Amino acid sequence: MKNIKALKEERGHLLDELAGLQTVIEREARSMSELETNRLNDIEARLSSIANEVEKLDKLQNLAAQAAGNSVSRSEEKEKSKMKDQYSFKRAMEMAISGRRDGVEGEFNAIAAEEYQRSGVSVSAHSIKIPSEVFKRDMTATGGSSGSEGGVNIQTSVGSIIDVLLPRTVLRGLGVQQLSNLVGNLDLPTASTLPSAGWNTENGTATEKSPAFSKVTFSPKRLAAYIQVSNQLMLQSSNSIDAYVRNWLLQAMAQSMEAAAIKGGGSNEPTGIIANANVNVVFAGGATSNATNANGAAPVWADVVNLMKAVENANGEGVAYLTNPLVKARLQTTPRQSSGVEGNFIWPAGGSELNGYPVATSTLVPSNLSKGTSSTLSAAIFGDFSKMALASWGGMELTVDPYSGATAGLTNVVLNAYMDCNLLQPAAFAVCKDIVA
């Protein structure tokens, strides 16, 4: 098989021959002879064959180029993964103080700066930027309704530092959507009316049933975290400070984001499930209205069923329950029936399901809700958690202040992330927020 260049040259010669033949015939004002007709057919057949051969060679060249590009891409990803493993938060904090921007941390700072620029989020030129990919693997490790995605393996004590016992983060394990590296605000149009049709007489005029639309808007909200690191710790090995700071950063952001997603609605924060005015509401104690349950009530089996009923009655399909350990303990000591054999408890001991659905617990589900004269009420949620989305813009911005705490031997570290959350379908959730546990 000839190469593409030779084939194209041959095609050019054949086209020149055709042009010459046409010129002769037009000049002599005659029809083509049998010999000329046969030559024309031969040329057309060869041109068709050349076209097929060129197409095949073009495909081979494109595949080869694509393979080479993929090889380069895989090589770049491998190198970036290697760099991520070498990333040091200690060196990043030192760079934030010195103003240097070199090494692995300097390269990732440039990547993160590009992320923020694409997202339309303005950050300080003097801070160290940490791209989202540095945290990507660790963020997924904190998920699972009981640490099943690896959260239980995250070290919480490093050297001489013993961390606090942390609330369990569960939303990712329940299927909440992740929207990462957004650019500017994001509007998701949603249909807000059911499709409908009308019955008419044979020749009656059909009534227009126009759908109505609304939208769910995501916009960056600044989530700030503040930590003081002792200068003595800064002088210790990179492994100690990196492990502690990395875990602290991940937990600070994950805990705050999850708390807002579950309850939310406070100053400057997103609106979470409990505070959303459009979710279905169930009243504890089997109450049918708020008036019959002025100060909250102890949970009963009907509450568990009513949460499910409220979602399904709104055409939703819940996939899991979520509550706190206080409600769990109360349900494990409350029989389903008001009287009868002791032991038929609402939540069986050691059980991981409630009413046939998975159930997760976390202290991030509040136990300090107020109603009437009560201010220690707990919440329980049932719903389809894939109808919630957590959004983020870029990675994290790190600013280091070695001066304010200098007399106490402390370095202040401030972190900023830009995040939001929203319910895509509030009717897919039901909340009971007046449980006496």
Q: Which residues contact 354 (CB under 8 A, 6 or more apart)?
A: 304, 321, 331, 346, 347
pLDDT value of position 237: 58
Specify the amino acid at residue 44: E
The structure tokens 């963020």 sit at: 139
Instruction: Name the H helices within 120-191.
Output: 132-140
- Interior angle at CA 19, CA 14 and CA 25, nearest 5: 125
Q: List % helix, strand, coil for the chain (3-state, nearest 5).
A: 40, 20, 35
Question: One digit per residue, pLDDT tens: the chain, 437 residues?
Answer: 567 778 878 888 888 888 788 788 878 888 888 888 888 888 888 888 888 787 777 777 777 666 655 554 566 666 767 777 788 888 888 888 888 888 888 888 888 888 888 888 888 877 888 887 776 544 333 444 444 443 444 444 444 466 678 888 999 999 999 998 888 899 988 877 777 777 888 777 777 666 777 889 999 999 988 888 888 777 765 556 777 777 787 788 889 999 999 999 888 899 999 999 999 999 999 998 887 888 999 999 999 999 999 999 999 999 999 999 999 999 999 998 876 566 789 999 888 999 999 999 999 999 999 999 999 999 999 999 999 999 999 888 888 888 888 899 898 888 889 999 999 999 999 999 999 99
pLDDT value of position 67: 62
pLDDT value of position 66: 65
What are the structure tokens assigned to 28, written together?
Answer: 């002599």
